[in-house]
């Protein structure tokens, strides 16, 4: 493999890892906000336990989203400096807005939510998880806006060999953005619902004592997966016409893009039919929670929305090749000039090795949290109260 191949593989692997984790972050955040709201309004202990249990799954998953995201943010400048040279005046804007206006707030409010469990008034604590949800979706909005600019560079003019921002509105009404954004949001909800379904099925199958807890979680998971599948498939087809207008040979030009698209559609349809015509009706009388023979199947299906999402990304990004910015800048021309084989080989080994290992550990820790159930949750546990001298304020 040459330098270009390695740089592409490094970006593809770290990007795919990032997407696996942020997908669940986006899917679980609104569900946590709903559970937390119902707890604050009704004070039912089971709803507090649900918020803490699923919250810990969310928080462990969040860590890897951050680690992989850091590598993504810096990788543009590391191995693709041709991108910022040619289009930084345009592409940099949504990324800067994302980090300052969204992620900065998301991270700060999440810290308040994680550590403020016993410190903040209940309603302010609740406000934090809603703000985390809002800013997480705002983050996805700006990242998708940036990605859509690569698919179809709308709203720009070329001046002196560089792209300049001409029409910000066109950047945000980009035909490869407007339908893809709700498509991704729906896929995330689908994945979040699917994790609730799979983990609840595990506990119901094992007949652990928390029957009400996991029956409720299963119900929320199925309804969420149903909404996600309905909107996800709908917005998926809705973007086809728009994509064909601006990238006519997207699916036919690349075997990998075509295969990714086909597999995603297959998984999507099978799961959607199953969710709509089997899982959703079986919520009546909580039949799904009682029918143990169904539970192994529900566990086995849980990873499928993640597989479909990765296939979807493969299709979207492979279908843009050989362009980094469609019709404007080739991937090969965006590679950092003078990047050496040794540099990219070491960074590839470091990023893929470290992030890959941490991703495996993270999934093991999520599985462990799920297996041990709601009684051994550290999130929201009582604070440590050592004897301290009264300290002066700052």
Partner 1 sequence: MDTLWYVIFALLFAGYFALEGFTIGVGILLRLRPHAARDLQVAAIAPFVLAGEVWLVALAGLLFGVFPLLEGDLLSGMYPLVVALLLAWILRDAALWFRRRGDGPRWRPAWDVVLSAASLALAIVWGMVLVAIMRGFPGGFDPLGVAAGVGVALAYAFHGWTFATWRLAGHPAVDGASRRGRAVWLSALVAAAPALLTLAVVTPSLLDHMAPSATLNVIGFMVLPLTPVMIGAQVWVWRTFSRGPLPSFF
Residues 349-388 that bind partner 1 (CB under 8 A): 350-351, 354-355, 358, 361-362, 365, 368-369, 378-379, 381-388
Is residue 61 a contact partner of residue 28, using CB atoms and an 8 Å limit? yes
Cα separation, 52 vs 163, whole angstroms = 47
Q: Which residue has the tokens 């543009």?
A: 76
- Token readout for 360 is 């495996």
- Strands 162-165 and 156-159: what pairing? antiparallel
Question: Which residues neighbour 48 within 8 Å (Cβ) at sequence distance 6 or greater?
Answer: 39, 380
Residue nearer to partner 1 on the CB measure, 60 or 243: 60
Question: In this structure, are residues 301 and 194 in contact, taking their beta carbons and an 8 Å threshold?
Answer: yes
Q: Is residue 101 a contact residue for partner 1 (CB under 8 A)? A: yes
The least CB distance from residue 353 to partner 1, in Å, is 9
Give how many residues touch partner 1 by CB under 8 A: 83
Based on the shown chain and the rule CB under 8 A, indicate whether residue 297 belongs to the binding site for partner 1: no
Residue 244, C-beta contacts closer than 8 angstroms, at least 6 positions apart: 250
Nearer to partner 1, 300 or 360 (CB): 360
The residue range among 82-90, 178-186, 207-215, 264-272 that interacts with partner 1, by the rule CB under 8 A, is 82-90
CA–CA gap between residue 361 and residue 280 (Å, rounded)? 33
Judged by CB, which is closer to partner 1: 64, or 225?
64
Q: Do 322 and 332 meet the contact criterion of CB atoms below 8 Å apart?
A: yes
Q: Interface with partner 1 includes 109 (CB under 8 A)?
A: yes
Is the bond leading into 322 cis (omega within 30 degrees of zero)? yes
Specify the residue, 54 or 251, whose C-beta has the smaller distance to partner 1.
54
Q: Residue 290 or 371: which CB sits closer to partner 1?
A: 371
**Which tokens is 60 given?**
């462990």
Q: Which is nearer to partner 1, 56 or 215 (CB)?
A: 56
- Give the CA angle between residues 258, 260, 261 to the nearest 5°: 65
Using CB under 8 A, which of the segments 87-95, 198-206, 262-270, 301-309 binds partner 1?
87-95
Positions 327 through 346 that interact with partner 1 (CB under 8 A)? 336, 339, 343, 346
Q: How far is the CB of 9 from partner 1 (least distance, A)?
A: 15
**3-state DSSP assignment of residue 145:** helix
* One-character DSSP codes across 147-204: HHHHHS-TTEEEETTEEEE--HHHHHS-HHHHTHHHHHHHHHHHHHHHHHHHHHHHHH
- The verdict on 291 binding partner 1 (CB under 8 A) reads no
> Contact between 70 and partner 1 (CB under 8 A)?
yes
Q: Give yes or no for residue 389 binding partner 1 (CB under 8 A).
A: yes
- With binding defined as CB under 8 A, does residue 2 bind partner 1? no
Which is nearer to partner 1, 35 or 60 (by Cβ)?
60
Structural contact between residues 222 and 275, judged by C-beta atoms closer than 8 angstroms: yes
Asked whether position 96 contacts partner 1 by CB under 8 A, the answer is: yes
Q: Is 116 in the site for partner 1 (CB under 8 A)?
A: yes
Q: How far is the CB of 338 from partner 1 (least distance, A)?
A: 8
Return the number of the residue (105 or 227) whose C-beta is nearest partner 1. Answer: 105
Residues 191-250 close enough to bind partner 1 by CB under 8 A: none
Are the CB atoms for 153 and 328 separated by under 8 Å?
yes
Instruction: Build a one-symbol-per-residue string for 129-168: x at contacts with partner 1 by CB under 8 A, - elsewhere.
Output: -----------------------------------xxx-x
In the block, tokens 């999520």 appear at 366
Which of these ranges, 21-29, 236-244, 263-271, 348-356, lies near partner 1 under the rule CB under 8 A?
A: 348-356
């Amino acid at each position: 493999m040459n330098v270009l191949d390695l740089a592409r593989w490094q970006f593809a692997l770290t990007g795919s890892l990032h997407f696996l984790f942020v997908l669940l972050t986006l899917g679980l955040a609104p569900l946590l906000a709903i559970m937390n709201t119902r707890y604050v309004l009704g004070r039912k202990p089971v709803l507090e336990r649900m918020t803490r249990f699923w919250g810990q799954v969310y928080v462990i998953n969040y860590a890897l989203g951050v680690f992989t995201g850091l590598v993504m943010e810096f990788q543009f400048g590391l191995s693709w400096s041709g991108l910022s040279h040619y289009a930084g005046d345009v592409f940099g804007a949504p990324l800067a807005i994302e980090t300052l206006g969204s992620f900065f707030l998301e991270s700060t409010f999440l810290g308040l939510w994680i550590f403020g469990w016993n410190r903040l008034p209940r309603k302010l604590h609740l406000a934090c998880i809603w703000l985390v949800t809002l800013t997480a979706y705002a983050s996805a909005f700006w990242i998708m806006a940036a990605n859509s600019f690569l698919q179809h560079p709308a709203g720009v003019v070329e001046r002196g060999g560089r792209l300049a921002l001409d029409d910000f509105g066109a950047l945000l009404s980009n035909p490869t953005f407007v339908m893809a954004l709700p498509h991704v949001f729906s896929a995330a909800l689908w994945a979040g619902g699917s994790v609730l379904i799979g983990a609840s099925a595990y506990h119901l199958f094992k007949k652990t004592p928390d029957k009400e807890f996991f029956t409720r979680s299963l119900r929320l998971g199925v309804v969420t997966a149903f909404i996600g599948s309905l909107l996800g498939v709908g917005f998926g087809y809705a973007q086809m016409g728009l994509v064909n207008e601006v990238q006519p040979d997207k699916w036919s030009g690349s075997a990998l893009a075509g295969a990714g698209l086909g597999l995603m559609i297959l998984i999507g349809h099978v799961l959607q039919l199953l969710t709509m015509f089997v899982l959703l009706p079986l919520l009546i009388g909580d039949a799904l929670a009682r029918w143990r023979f169904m539970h192994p199947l529900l566990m086995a299906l849980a990873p499928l929305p993640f597989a479909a999402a990765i296939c979807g990304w493969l299709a979207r990004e492979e279908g843009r090749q050989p362009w980094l910015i469609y019709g404007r800048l080739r991937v090969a021309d965006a590679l950092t000039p003078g990047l050496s084989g040794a540099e990219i080989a070491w960074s590839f080994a470091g990023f893929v090795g470290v992030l890959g290992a941490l991703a495996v550990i993270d999934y093991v820790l999520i599985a462990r949290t799920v297996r041990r159930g709601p009684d051994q949750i550290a999130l929201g546990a009582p604070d440590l109260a050592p004897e301290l001298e009264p300290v002066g304020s700052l």
